[in-house]
Structure 1
Amino acid sequence: MLTTEERIYTLSYLWKEAEYNYAFWSMHPEIDWDMEYRRLIPFAINAKSDLEYYLLLMKFYALLCDGHTSVMPPYELVKNRSVPFRTVRAEGKFLLSEVIKGKEELLMSEITQIQGLSVNDYLDKYVYPFYWHRLPESLFAANDCIESSIMFNFKADESVNIITNKGDFSFKMSEKHDTVFIDERVKPPEALEEHFKSESLAISVTEDHIAFIEIFDLYHSEITSEFKENLDFLKGCKGYIIDVRGNTGGMGDPPIEIAGYFISGKYPVKSEAKTPSHSAKYHALEPYIDMNSPDLSDPWQRKIYQIATHTYYELLPENGEADGYIDFDIRKTVLTSPAILLTNHTTACAAESFVSYFKISGRAEIVGTTTFGSGSEAMIRDLPLGGQMRIATTQSKLIDGSEFVNKGIEPHVTVEKSADDIAKGRDKVMITALKLLRSKNL
């Protein structure tokens, strides 16, 4: 168990790092971060277990209301606990995609109660105080909130009861259970011939020469050269379906480099990416102004006030920006056939930048669901026992100046998966995209 000193130090570390590095203090003037820190100290000291302590840390960072800022508890604290079910979100419901063996009739049934609470009441008590995202669908798509919350909040030998619209079951996390599950992987709606596949990129083609380009992530720099190596093949295709569903981002250069093969033109950068900046000198001058009523028309007072409230920012250049523009014509546009982009609630960060280039330029229709809504550079640090924290360190907008953090990018054509789609492995988004593309008389 963590010592009192370790608990106080870790809490203090989280307080300090957010105080100086969190990018969105300007949007949360109502939060008294110092007061919240001081209020939490006795609870941190008196927590009955390390898991209870970590739940306090999760609630502490959830106060910051940012989908890219959180505390993740150590797996070590729950490794002997087993939750014998999994959920999938569809039609605004939590459906069982995995259940205890012998309860197969409950597969794809809707959860209506957990531990005597309605689903909404359960979320209010055991999920939302610890996780935060303005878009619930993004939160649930990126996290196993129901399963994790049970693991974190109930005792291992406590009986947990789940009621669905087709029946109920109970279990104890201290006991092992065999389970059965549905295969949630979607099946291609028609035959595809694989042309190329790597860790980050896969290219296949339909019989009528529509290229299906899957970009799994943007973390590997090799993806740019891999894409370039396949240009000759892609030039011969009649259309492109570019799939960034589940792509959680990566580096800033590959999105603009790959997009440049599809997009032409020069676009003004109206965004203002910025990160908190601190000055010890101006912080020292704080006693010389009235912090309760500063004269913000005075540049000197304004800077002192902004430094003190952590709302003074350094502007950052956009990836690929030069003289206030992003010029896609630097790289010769060679892929000119019609294109459609596929997104979902876990398309995030650098992948959202990629999506934005196509939306702003009008180069492709976007089909699927709203993206995750996170464009911030995350500061990630390890915590005791194997926990982890992350803090959003950058405020960013799309290059046209529109907001997307905690909002996401909406598709042109919204296609939500149904329970029946999931059960049958039907890729309704891909089916819709193929139909739209073929309607363009390729």
Structure 2
Amino acid sequence: MIKKALLASLLIVSISVSAKEVVNPPYNLSNEDKLYGLSLFWKEASYNFAYFDQVPDLDFDSAYREYIPKVLATETTYEYYRELMKFNALLHDGHTNIYLPKGLSSNYVDWPALSLTEANQQAVVTKVKRELQAEIPLGSTIISVEGVKLETHLKANVMPYIASSTEHILWNDGVRNLLGGAPDSKVNFTIKTPLGELKDLTLTRNSRHQKIDKVSLKLPKSNGELFEFKWLDHKIAYIALNGFHDKKILQDFNDVYDEIKQSRGLIIDLRFNGGGNSSIAAEILSHFTNKGLEGSIWKNRKHIAAFKAWGNYSGKYKIYAQDNAWESGAMESLKAKENSHIVPTYVLIGRNTASAAEDFLIYADKLKHFTTLGENTYGSTGQPIFFDLPGGGSFRICTKRDTYPDGREFVGYGITPQVIIDRMPEHLRSEKDIVLYSAIKKLKEKI
């Protein structure tokens, strides 16, 4: 069984990590280091990246040449890493990332005292400093920044630095980072309140190192634990599987499985599961199927130097010369438990359902008593390979591509639920868990 290390914080939130702890990276790198770091990323991506076919208009070699003067012109290590992030983002992959040296961003980036959540390609204020609540009501939407419409500003100034396989995650992360900028600088923006009033505002980016009292909308979230179990009406059991990175979830699940077997209907919540070990996902799912299930199939690029040379002269090896030779395999088949529990089941999924949690869904694809409900999943998985960069940062390259057993792609798109409930601003303002409510309603009708 292939294992996938949980990188939820890397998948869902842009953070600064590094294979080496460098508390005080150099203010500016040497030109030799700058060029080496760019070249190392270009070399390893050229050799290992699994998804060049999903960026057919990208001439990666030409882009590399274009970025040589760009990185050499940077005046700080932070600017240098930002250029690397922009170069990396050209690959449009959520498992291929540049990570800043530890602590570097705190000197260069801050936000005003509010938080934003994306819904229907709108930036909704879901948390704000208590003293600003009257001026910026919760549920307001930002319609422009520095006099530029939201979408235009995002595509010009924010999204080019975001590595994402899917459009919905690009928007998700773009909105979250919308108002970031230099510490103590001002940001001007226009909001539309829930009552339709337009307001022009200016705030200071100074919240990062302060303890600020904020008020927030009550949004659906996990209970903070790996596992949650509770009873709902009509003998419906609800279980939340919030991570597959720790085997403790298996013990938590097994402790209540006999109770779960008393249910007439089941809801499995994967909306806050960023991944982990796919064998853990399969072990839990095996309790809810009465037949064997196939997992994803995978392939990665195959390099044999002599074959590549021969491919220039022989059709037999041409695919090697074209860098289009692949090694393939499949995840281990899942075997059903003898005492499995088969009842109508709704599986809640969303934009934060990623990696091994998506493997869970691929295994479950043929289960007729399962219905998926919610939003498209994160749409990125694979096996990254990591490298260190000058100055203390690092990068990773996705080396493996996964598909459904029949070859259907989901990386770059996300797994689409059978019942789609797109997140809307009014859902956030209602402070109701619309997805869970819909699943309960539909499940009651079935049982």
Bucket of the pairwise TM-score, normalised by the shorter protein: 0.7 to 0.9
Is 1:96 the counterpart of 2:149? The answer is no
Identify the match of residue 216 of structure 2 among 161, 176, 182: 182
Contact 1:187 1:427 in 2 (8 A): no
For 2:127, give the aligned amino acid.
E
Instruction: Show the counterpart of 1:281.
Output: 306
* Rounded Cα–Cα distance in structure 1 between residues aligned with 2:252 and 2:206: 47
Q: 2:110 aligns with which of 82, 103, 110?
A: 82
* TM-aligned CA deviation for residue 396 of structure 1: 1.2
The alpha-carbon distance between structure 1 residues 421 and 57, as it changes in their structure 2 partners (threshold 3 A), is same
1:240 aligns with 2:271: no
Matched residues in 1 for 2:125 and 2:77: separation? Answer: 30
SS at match of 1:167: strand
Do the aligned partners of residues 385 and 86 (structure 1) sit closer, same or farther apart at CA in structure 2, a change above 3 Å counting?
farther
Among 124, 139, 149, which residue is 1:118 paired with? 149
Cα-to-partner distance string for 1:272-312 (whole Å, 9 max, x where unaligned): 410122223334446x53xxxxx7xx222333x13xx3x32
1:351 equivalent to 2:357? Answer yes
Could you tell me which of 287, 299, 302 is aligned with 2:316?
299
Are the equivalent residues in 1 in contact too, given 2:117–2:175 (CA < 8 A)?
A: no
Cα distance in 2 for partners of 1:334, 1:36 equals: 53
Q: In structure 2, what is the equivalent of residue 163 of structure 1?
A: 190
**CA distance in structure 1 between the partners assigned to 2:232 and 2:130 by the alignment:** 39
CA contact (8 A) 1:341 1:364 kept: yes
Alpha-carbon distance in structure 2 between the residues aligned to 1:77 and 1:169 = 29
SS for the counterpart of 1:121 is: helix
Q: 1:164: how far off?
A: 0.8
Q: CA deviation at 1:368?
A: 0.9
Secondary structure in structure 2 of the residue aligned to 1:395: strand
CA–CA distance in structure 2, aligned partners of residues 183 and 390 of structure 1:
35
* Residue 168 (structure 1) shift: 2.7
Aligned Cα root-mean-square deviation (Å): 2.7
Aligned match of 2:325:
312
* CA-CA distance at 1:420 after TM superposition: 3.9
Unaligned runs of 5+ in 1: 189-196, 290-294
From 205, 209, 231, give the equivalent of 1:173. 205
Tell me how far apart the structure 2 counterparts of residues 436 and 255 of structure 1 sit (CA, whole Å): 25
CA–CA distance in structure 2, aligned partners of residues 300 and 417 of structure 1: 49
The structure-2 alpha-carbon separation of the partners of 1:48 and 1:179, relative to structure 1 and needing over 3 Å to count, comes to farther
AA paired with 1:279?
I
Contact 1:182-1:423 at 8 Å conserved across structures: no
**How many angstroms apart in 1 are the aligned matches of 2:177 and 2:281?**
33
- Provide structure 2 residue ranges, at least 5 long, that are not aligned to the other structure: 1-26, 193-197
Could you tell me which amino acid in structure 1 is paired with residue 119 of structure 2?
A
Report the residue type matching 2:316 in the other structure.
P
Larger deviation: 232-241 or 331-340? 331-340
Q: CA deviation at 1:109?
A: 0.9
Q: What is the 5 A alignment of 1:386-405?
A: 387-405=393-411
CA deviation vs aligned residue, 1:194-249 (integer Å, no higher than 9, x gap): xxx99422211125432111000111133334323332121112211000002111
Bigger drift between 197-206 and 420-429 goes to 197-206
1:265 aligns with 2:282: no
In 1, distance between residues paired with 2:414 and 2:371?
A: 16
Q: Distance in 2 between matches of 1:352 and 1:187?
A: 18
Using the alignment, how far apart are the partners of 2:171 and 2:435 within structure 1?
19
Counterparts in 2 of 1:300 and 1:285: CA distance versus 1, 3 Å: closer
Q: Secondary structure at the match of 2:401?
A: coil
In structure 2, relative to structure 1, the CA distance for the partners of 1:346 and 1:101 (3 Å cut) is same
Tell me what 1:220 maps to: 246
Q: For 1:220, what is the secondary structure of its paired residue?
A: coil
Q: Distance in 2 between matches of 1:77 and 1:173?
A: 17
Residue 126 of structure 1 aligns with an amino acid whose one-letter code is N
TM value normalised by structure 1: 0.84
Is this contact kept in 2: 1:138–1:371, CA < 8 A?
Answer: no
Per the alignment, do residues 156 and 232 of structure 1 end up closer, same or farther by CA in structure 2, a change over 3 Å counting?
closer
Question: Alpha carbons of 1:139 and 1:179: their partners in 2 closer, same or farther (altered >3 Å)?
Answer: farther
Equivalent in 254, 264, 284 of residue 280 of structure 2: 254
Secondary structure at the aligned position of 1:160 is classed as strand
Tell me by how many angstroms 1:61 deviates: 0.9
TM-score (norm 2): 0.83
Structure 1 residue 6 and structure 2 residue 33: aligned?
Answer: yes
